[in-house]
Amino acid sequence: MLRDLIKILSGNIPLRRPGDNFNKMLKLTRDLTVTAGKCFFDDPPTPDERTAIYKQDVKVNKLERKIRKQVIAHLSVGGHSADVPYSLLLMSLVKDVERIGDYAKNLAEIRDVSGATLPDDEIVAELKEIRAGVETTFASVSEVFDNSDVEEAVELIRQGRDMNARLDRLINRIASSDYDASTTTAVVMGTRFYKRISAHLLNILSGVVMPLHKLDYYDERILAAAKPRGDDREE
């Protein structure tokens, strides 16, 4: 279904505009996520950096509203009923991108709120590894989406689900650590926000793999039908 959506967004002038805006949202939220990671792991944002983060988030929210308006205007014109499924898909994906922007903004605020300095230990080292995985996945999402690359999407979904399982286990390790209250708060919040960002990336990738009625879910039969990258074994 996503392959058909890409064709519509590239060939249908009224829907090309929301398609372009969707790509802008992806880029803005990817940049926000990278910036937020630096603010969380390195140094809290300066006042100017904080202002820039909030302005980016406002841009993302405005683009979401603009896309909704463009899609509704398109569907309000007679003769476009065939575009309804693709418009619903786009509206769903846009909401996931908007939520990523919110969680990235929240991630950037943690050190300001908690005042904690992150410890140099195995828990934070693992969270840094997961951060790198999330940012790597984000870097691939636009290309996977544009090419409707099912195999790559399935592989990224599998990797993302593994990362989310690691994040869940990390919460248990934090709970049994000897962190003080502010450090515990900071590391737990960072862990949860990375899980939410990852989860919304997986929702976007599900649009490449799943039919519309199973968007945001991962049917194991469908995932199993696509070979992982590098798997050249005979079926």
Round the CA-based radius of gyration of the chain to a whole number and report it. Answer: 19
**pLDDT on residue 24:** 92
**pLDDT on residue 228:** 45
What's the pTM value of the predicted model, to 2 decimals?
Answer: 0.85
CA angle 70–76–77, rounded 5-degree value: 100
The CA distance from 145 to 229, in Å, is 16
Instruction: Return averaged pLDDT per consecutive 10 residues of the chain, 235 residues in all.
Output: 55 70 93 96 90 95 93 76 77 92 95 86 96 94 79 88 94 95 95 96 81 56 51 38
**pLDDT on residue 180:** 94
The CA distance from 190 to 131, in Å, is 10
The CA distance from 229 to 155, in Å, is 7
**pLDDT on residue 109:** 93
**pLDDT on residue 117:** 87
**pLDDT on residue 229:** 42
**pLDDT on residue 208:** 74
Q: Which has the closest alpha carbon to 23: 66, 83, 54?
A: 66
Domains contained in the chain, CATH given: 2-225 (1.20.58.220)
Six-digit token pair at 163?
């990362």
Count Cβ atoms within 10 A of the Cβ of residue 118 and give its class: 0-12 exposed, 13-18 middle, 19 or more buried: buried
The CA distance from 14 to 221, in Å, is 36
Check if the beta carbon of residue 200 is closer than 8 Å to that of residue 99. Answer: yes
Check if the beta carbon of residue 76 is closer than 8 Å to that of residue 16. Answer: no
Q: Tokens 């949202």 — which residue? A: 25
Check if the beta carbon of residue 103 is closer than 8 Å to that of residue 32. Answer: no
First-to-last C-alpha distance (Å) of the chain? 24
